[in-house]
Structure formats: C-alpha cells, structure tokens
Chains A and B, each alone.
Chain A
Amino acid sequence: MNVAGIPNIASIILGLIIILLVVFEPLGLYGFWIRTKIYWKTWPF
C-alpha cells in the first residue's frame, strides 16, 4: 500500500460519509438536536 493512493481513499470515504448521512440522518446535526430536545421535554416517558 503506497502513499499515492490516499487521496483516492479520502474521496471514497467522503462519498460514503455523504451517502450514509443522507440515508440515516437526513436532517444532520439538527435531527440529533431535535431528538435530544424531545427526550429532555418528555423525560420521564
């Protein structure tokens, strides 16, 4: 494995991150924040 391939792997990983984020967390960090807020508001339930 040589160093020259690293930018390509970076591009693969970046693409994967984009896809996985869109698939599993379409609202991004905001979705996480909403979930936290709802959890806090309705805490004992």
Chain B
Amino acid sequence: MLSQLIVSGLSFGSLYALVALAMVIIYKTSEVPNFGQGEMAMLSTFVAFTLLATYEYSFIVSFVGALLFAAALGVFLEFTFLRRAKDPNILSLILITLGFEMILYGLASWKWGADQRDFPFPVSDFDLINLGPAVMSYLNLATILITLVLMLMLFLFFRYTKVGIAMKATQQNAMAARINGIRTNRILSITWALSSMIGAVAGMLLAPIATLDPNLMLDPLLKGFASAVLGGMTSLVGAALGGYILGIIENLFGGYVSLEFKSIVAFGIIVLVLCFKPSGLFARHYVRKV
C-alpha cells in the first residue's frame, strides 16, 4: 500500500511541480505570484479541447496549438496590462493578475459553459502497468515522463540558450541586465509566455484525470502554490521537488490518516513552512531585492 500511495503521489506531485515551476519562473523575474496562472492554463486546455473535439485536428496539432495560444495569452497579459501599470508595486501587479483571472474565468464559462467534459487524451487512464508492488496507469506514467522531459528542457534552456541566460540575468539584477544591453521588457514578455506554456501543459495533463470545466485548475493552482512555498519561491529545483514532496505527503495523509481532510495538508504545509523556514526548504537564503 505504501508504494502504491507513493507512486500515485508522484504523478499528482508532478502536476503540482509543473504549476509550481510556472509560478516560480514568474515570481523570480517580476516578484509577482501569478494567481491568473490556473485560469490561463484552463483556457489553454479548453482551446486544445476545441481543436480536438470540434475541429478534429490530431492530438499533436491541438497540443501545439494550445501551447501557442498559452504563449500568446502570457505575452498579452504582460504587454497589455502589467506593462501599462502606473508606478507599479507588487500589490497592484498581483491585483492585475487576479482581475485577469476573473476575466478568463468569466470568458471560459461564457464560451464553454459549466458542464463537465471529457478531455480525449491519447493515453489511457485505465490500462495499468505493474511495477512490482504497485500499479500505475499509462496516463500517470506519461504525466511523470512528460514532466521530467519538460524539466530537463527547462534546465537546458536556462543553462545553454542566450534567452535563458538573459532571463537569469534579469532575475538577478534587472538594472544591470539593462545596462548590459538586454531588453528586459522583452525578456519579461518571453518569461510570461514560458510560464504560461508550462501551466498549459499541466492543465492538459490534468484534464484527462479530472473533468474539464472552468474550475479545473482551482485546486491544482493552490496546491502548486503551496509546493512552491514549500520548496522555496526563489528556486526552480526547490519548486519542482516541493511539488513531488507535496504530492506524496498528501497521498500518504489520505491513505493513512484521513481521506476527507486530504486537501487541507497543502495549506497546513504552507503555514508550517512559513512559520519555521520562511524561505522554503531548498532556497538558499531569503533575499529581499531593494
């Protein structure tokens, strides 16, 4: 039972890790926790659903289309709203993301309605593979693998590409980056696009497990935020590990303590982490940018 709980915790944890990664990437560059993340991912998932079900494109085309839509949505939010804010402070930027979230939620429920749909995913949730003491569905395996591949790509992106290095430079010191000839505004737009795309992947992996409706990402967003806090809001590796840890802890709690109170674990963890190690488990130190 223990290994089964851990295995299924891993697959949920990888979704949380994706959401947490998307959040942390934005938080590191602009110090804004993006609360519109979930709705952006939800809307992109709906776009993928429409491409798949209504226009009957193949899965790959819909997937890529939804990713492009997500990127455009991220750039749109940054370019139209956040960049226009008059002498922005963090609070007003957070308010903008919240307002954007409400707009997207309204748009999605208006366009697609509140009925729950099945997201046709090419990998089955019902065929199982045996892993010795535990079983795992192909969908869970695909979730874990896609997440790992995505993390590897992110790592390579931040380490070896010019844009990735420019992003890191902007994260560390925007002023110095601008002096060195990096267009920080453009980098910020690209960062929003990247984060939105990661969120969209999380949404599309979650949709076949849950049902596709406008509330799809409400819960995973909060859990992802919790895992980002757990791992450290300033560390990408920390956020990813935090997601896995949260998924496993939550599942173990659900299995051994109480299934009804499973969803409070994440929020309990937020409180505990903020009380005892406010920088998170894996962030090296708490730096306040001035």
Give the interface of A toward B (CB within 8 A).
5, 7-12, 14-19, 22-24, 26
Contacts and interface: CB of A to CB of B under 8 A. Distances in A.
Q: Is the interface of A mostly helix, strand, loop or mixed?
A: helix
B162 interface: no
B106 interface: yes
Q: Chain B contact residues (Cβ within 8 angstroms of A): what range?
A: 20 to 34
Q: Is the interface of B mostly helix, strand, loop or mixed?
A: helix
Interface of B: 81, 84-88, 92, 95-96, 98-107, 109-110
Nearest to B214: A8
29 contacts: A8-B105, A8-B106, A8-B110, A10-B106, A11-B106, A12-B103, A12-B106, A12-B110, A14-B102, A15-B98, A15-B100, A15-B101, A15-B102, A15-B103, A15-B104, A18-B96, A18-B99, A18-B102, A19-B81, A19-B95, A22-B85, A22-B92, A22-B96, A22-B99, A23-B81, A23-B84, A23-B86, A26-B87, A26-B92
Contacts of B92: 22, 26
Nearest to A6: B110
A27 B87 CA distance: 11
